[in-house]
Amino acid sequence: MIDLIIFVSLLALGYGFGRHAEKKHYKSIIKREKQYSSLPALTAKTPTMLSKPNDSHLVVGSVVISVDYFKRFISALRNLVGGRVTSYESLIDRARREAVLRMKAQAKEMGANLVFNTKFETASIYQGRRHQVGSVEVLAYGTAIIPMQRG
Amino acid sequence: MMITNIEIVPGKRITRHLGLVQGSSVRAKHVGRDIMASLKNIFGGELIGYTELLQESRNEAIARMTEQAKAVGANAVLNVRFSTSSIAAGAAELFAYGTAVTLEKM
């Protein structure tokens, strides 16, 4: 009985806090994406259309995000019937966008106006018994193009 | 030392190719961070401790790669890639590799 109570309260906690955190995160992601809209991140390999001399530098952004208890439970249920695991999709989406934003923030600090050759790296971090900690790390990296100052 | 993940640097010419350089770092988290992380697993959200840890070890991997590039006499590392893998429970390997070259102004 006590186990059941603990389980249900964990589920409720996960649902409440997880939902709140996700909403807040999406809000801030959308806000910052607008802010950085003047600094595009491209996947093109070689910088073309550059007429002025430029400096370039590696920029990196990374984030580790963890799932909440409720989402993990839902995805376990989803494993029985198969299909899209939307609860994990939103998690990865948040992590990717956050990583790109952090990369752009670093690029902006250097005074860049473009990020080339953006690449992603995703790793899952599991540890402990029965995969107690389930979280995902996303790394975004690219080359920032910084216009050189003359004089 | 210039480190970049593009293959050709605008305004500069590659004069010498010095081969592959690499750096890696394996890190484990300490228990306090693990406890915090398992709490966060109930509520969801960012694991700031882990983000910092991975960033630190990635910087170390880059530093080791740079050291190696310096040792072979390069002044730039091009086409840098990152790779992450979890080898054991609670430990992650961060790996950075690239091509060491000498660059000259055109």
Contact criterion met (CB below 8 Å) for A113 and A147: yes
For residue B12, count other CB atoms closer than 10 A to its CB: 17
Q: Which of A56, A132, A139 has its CB closest to that of B4?
A: A56
Per-residue pLDDT at A151: 43
Helices (H), B3-83: 31-43, 48-71
Domains and CATH numbers, chain B: 2-105 (3.30.110.70)
Q: A56, A75, A91, A98: which to substitute to probe chain B, counting the most B Cβ within 10 Å?
A: A56
Domains and CATH numbers, chain A: 2-147 (3.30.110.70)
The pLDDT tens digits of the residues spanning B76-89 come to 999 899 988 877 66
* pTM of structure: 0.81
The pLDDT tens digits of the residues spanning A68-112 come to 888 888 888 888 888 888 888 888 899 999 999 999 999 999 888
The pLDDT tens digits of the residues spanning B43-77 come to 777 888 888 888 888 999 999 999 999 999 999 99
- List the single range of A6-15, A43-52, A69-78, A113-122 with lowest mean pLDDT: A43-52
Place of tokens 């590659």: B14
Q: Under an 8 A CB cutoff, do B51 and A62 touch?
A: yes
Q: Is the ipTM of this complex over 0.95?
A: no
